[in-house]
Amino acid sequence: MRILVVNPNTTASMTEKIGATARAVASSGTEIIAVNPAHGPVSIEGYYDEAISLAGLLQVVEANLDVDAIVVACFDDTGLDAVRSLAGCPVVAIGEAAFHMASMLSNKFSVVTTLARSVPAIEHNLVRYGLATRCARVRSTEVAVLDLEHDAGPARAKIDTEIRRAIAEDRAEAIVLGCAGMTDLTRSLTADHGLPVLDGVGCAVVLCEGLVRLGLKTSRLGGYTPPVKK
């Protein structure tokens, strides 16, 4: 099985971190191909960055259509519908994957993300997926995405604080980490806070493997009909 894991931003160090997480949870027979576009934003924080990242994301996907499944590794689920239209294989985005898994492990979960400007996009996705009532709150740490690529100590402290607040104020029973750049913090945060802390990269890889094993592919009817060449 070959799974393409696409980081839609251009920061190679984040792609390496995402790839390491994906390989750690993948089955022994699964090959993880972790890539990012050559052109686009260095981080995706809000609607504008999402929009300008789409061309690079789709170029990478179009060059790798021979894979068995695709993970879109941006928590805003950037370009998910377009990628599903382009690729016939299963396509899973990390926000979508983490939300669904959190809803299977808890009655209520909270999301801890980066900047406040990302909160509306995440809230819109929760409504779209029918999971808004399962999410107690989407919390921002005001940690920039690229701060997670350098000295993560101060960033982790802010994430810790928001998790404690989510447990105390939201009565959250699980936490979803709202950025692919947080993927390496999952195990330690789970141990420190005593509740499930979910990273969308790992969740998406596992779901992709299951869909492939079941022989399922994206529907080609209706909205995901392949695009017409123009």
Q: What is the mean predicted confidence (pLDDT) over 200-225?
A: 96
Same fold, 2-93+203-223 and 95-200: yes
The model carries a pTM of 0.94
- pLDDT value, residue 60: 97
Tokens for 111, please give them.
């999301």
The secondary structure element, H or E, covering residue 176 is strand 174-178
Instruction: Specify whether domain 95-200 bears CATH 3.30.870.10.
Output: no
Would you say 159 and 141 are in contact if contact means Cβ atoms under 8 Å apart?
A: yes
The domain limits of the chain are 2-93+203-223, 95-200
Q: What is the mean predicted confidence (pLDDT) over 167-190?
A: 94
Q: Write the pLDDT tens digit of every residue in 39-74.
A: 999 999 999 999 999 999 999 999 999 999 999 999
From residue 53, alpha-carbon distances to 38, 48, 188, 213 in Å are: 10, 9, 31, 31
Q: What is the mean predicted confidence (pLDDT) over 145-157?
A: 79
Tell me the CATH architecture of domain 2-93+203-223. 3-Layer(aba) Sandwich (3.40)
